[in-house]
Amino acid sequence: MDHGSPSQEHVSHLALDIGGSLTKLDYFSRNNECSNGDNNEEKSCSKESLLVSNGDKKCPVLQGRLHFAKFETSKINDCLEFIQRNQLHLGGCQHGGAPGNEKRIIKATGGGAYKNADLFKEKLGIFLDKEDEMDCLVAGANFLLKAVHEEAYTYIDGRKEFVQIDRDDLYPYLLVNIGSGVSMIKVDGDGKYERVSGTNVGGGTFWGLGRLLTKCESFDELLELSHRGNNRVIDMLVGDIYGGMDYTKFGLSSTTIASSFGKAISDNKEIEDYNAEDVARSLLRMISNNIGQISYLNALRFGLKRIFFGGFFIRGHAYTMDTISVGVNFWSKGEAKALFLRHEGFLGALGAFTSYEKHGFGDSIVRQLVQQSPLSASHAGYKIHGPLNGEWNDNESIECSVYVN
Ligand code: ADP
C-alpha cells in the first residue's frame, strides 16, 4: 500500500509500541491542504489558526492523517529503516538542551522500549520516552471508543455490526488485549483501571505452537491454513463420545468440543495423516475458546457486560472472532457481549501517541483530535481509508483522515 509521502507532509507525534512479537507505530501528518471553508487559506494554515473557533467565524479544518504501521519485532531494523526513510523521527518533540541541541524525544511503550532504547539512540539519535504499557492500552482503547466513529463491532454468525458507544455510558468495561500474552483489564475511566487477570496462552502461543506443529513460515500462512482446516478431524466432540448424540441434560450439543486435540489419540491414524490445515484450525479454536472463557469469567467476577477485545492476535479473522463471541455468549447465557475493535492492534501505540498531550509536550494536535473529533455518529468527521480488518499485510498501514469540524 502506498503510505503517501509522509516526509513531504507535516509529520508529528510519532509513537511506538514495541511488543514481544510486533512493533507498532503511529504518527500524525498534517496535509498541506488545510482549509477554512474557502481554499484561500490553504498555505497559511498555522498551528494557531487551528485553534480558532468562535462565533460565526468558520473554523479551519484540520486535515491530516493518522498513519499506522507494524513490523515484526524480530526485524526491528525494518522499523528503524522505515522511520529513517520517511524521516518520521524528525517530527518528534524537542526537549531540553541548548537551542539546536535539544534531545529528540519519541514516546514509546511495550517492553521493547526498554530493550531497544540504545538501538534507537544509536541509529536514529532519538530518545525513547517510556510510557507504561497498561496505561497506554487503556488510553488507546478509551481514545478509540470515545473519538472514533464505528470503532467497535460485534461479530455474530458471520455478521459484523458496528456498535454505537455512548461515551457517557462507556465504563466500566473489560478490556482483553490478546498480544503475545493476554491481559485482562477492568477499565473504570480515563487512567482508572485494574489489571484483573491474564493468561500466558495467547497470540504468541498460537504462532509459536502453530509453527512447531505445521512448519509454516509466517503468521499469515498459519491463519490461512486455519481458514481451510476442519477442527472436527482433530478435536474430540461430545458426539464422538455419545455416538453422535447431544448431551442434552447440560445443553451440550454433539458438535461441542469435549477435548481439544482429543481425537488425535483416539483413532488409528498415523501422525502424518493429520494435515496442517486441521491442526491450525484446532489450535486457533482452542486458544480462542480459552481466552473467551477466561474473559467471560472475569467479566462475571466484576459484573461487566461489555468485553472489548484488542491485540493483533485477532487480525479481524472471522473464525477467531466467531469462536470468542460464541464462547462469551454461551457462558454468559447472552448476558455479556464480545466486542472487537477496528484498530485492535494499535491500542498501545495510540496510548503512547496521546501521552504527548499528557506531558505537555508538542502542540495542540492531540487535544484537537480528542476534543474535536465528533463523538457521536451523526456528527462524525472521521473517515478511515485503507484496508479494513482481515485484510492486513505486514508493514501495511491504515490511513485515517481527521476532519475537525
Ligand atoms: P505484542 O505487543 O505482544 O507483540 P500484539 O498485539 O502485537 O502483541 O500481537 C502479537 C500477536 O499477533 C502475535 O503473537 C501473533 O499471534 C499475532 N500476529 C498477527 N500478525 C502477525 C504477524 N504478521 N507476525 C507475527 N505475529 C502476528
Q: Nearest to residue 108, comparing CAs of 121, 96, 117? A: 117
Lowest mean pLDDT among 50-54, 75-79, 144-148, 157-161: 50-54
Q: Tell me if 16 sits within 8 A of 23, measured CB to CB.
A: yes
Q: Kindly list the domain boundaries of the chain, sorted by start residue.
A: 8-132+346-404, 152-234+274-341
Q: How many CB atoms lie within 10 A of CB 401?
A: 14
The CATH code of domain 8-132+346-404 reads 3.30.420.40
Mutate which of 177, 180, 314, 347 for ligand 1? The one with the most ligand atoms within 8 Å of its CB, which is: 180
Question: 245: pLDDT confidence band, cut at 50, 70 and 90?
Answer: very high
CA of 283 to the centre of ligand 1 (A): 16
Fold of 152-234+274-341: Nucleotidyltransferase; domain 5 (3.30.420)
pTM for the complete prediction? Answer: 0.85
Residues lining ligand 1, CB < 6 A? 19-22, 72, 110, 179-180, 203-204, 206-207, 219, 311-313, 315, 345, 394
pLDDT score at 389: 36
Name the closest-CA residue to atom 5, ligand 1.
179
pLDDT tens sequence across 212-240: 999 999 999 999 999 999 999 999 999 99
Q: Tell me if 57 sits within 8 A of 3, measured CB to CB.
A: no
Query: Per residue, what are the HEC states of 283-326?
Result: HHHHHHHHHHHHHHHHHHHHCCCEEEEECCCCCCCHHHHHHHHH
Model confidence at 276: pLDDT above 60: yes
Same fold, 8-132+346-404 and 152-234+274-341: yes
Q: How many CB atoms lie within 10 A of CB 52?
A: 11
- Give, for 138, the enclosing helix (H) or strand (E): helix 133-147
Compute the distance between CA of residue 180 and CA of residue 20 in angstroms, rounded to an integer. 6
Q: Nearest to residue 140, comparing CAs of 84, 95, 185, 81? A: 185
Compute the distance between CA of residue 145 and CA of residue 195 in angstroms, rounded to an integer. 19
Model confidence at 97: pLDDT above 50: yes
pLDDT score at 93: 57
Compute the distance between CA of residue 69 and CA of residue 346 in angstroms, rounded to an integer. 9
Question: 10: pLDDT confidence band, cut at 50, 70 and 90?
Answer: confident
Q: Tell me if 238 sits within 8 A of 256, measured CB to CB.
A: yes
Name the closest-CA residue to atom 22, ligand 1.
219
pLDDT tens sequence across 324-373: 999 999 899 999 999 999 999 999 999 999 888 766 554 444 444 543 33
Looking at this protein, which amino acid is placed at residue 345? G
Lowest mean pLDDT among 26-30, 121-125, 258-262: 26-30
CA of 75 to the centre of ligand 1 (A): 13
Instruction: Spell out where 19-102 has E strands.
Output: 22-30, 63-72, 93-95
Question: 63: pLDDT confidence band, cut at 50, 70 and 90?
Answer: low
Compute the distance between CA of residue 317 and CA of residue 319 in angstroms, rounded to an integer. 6
pLDDT tens sequence across 101-120: 667 899 999 999 999 999 99
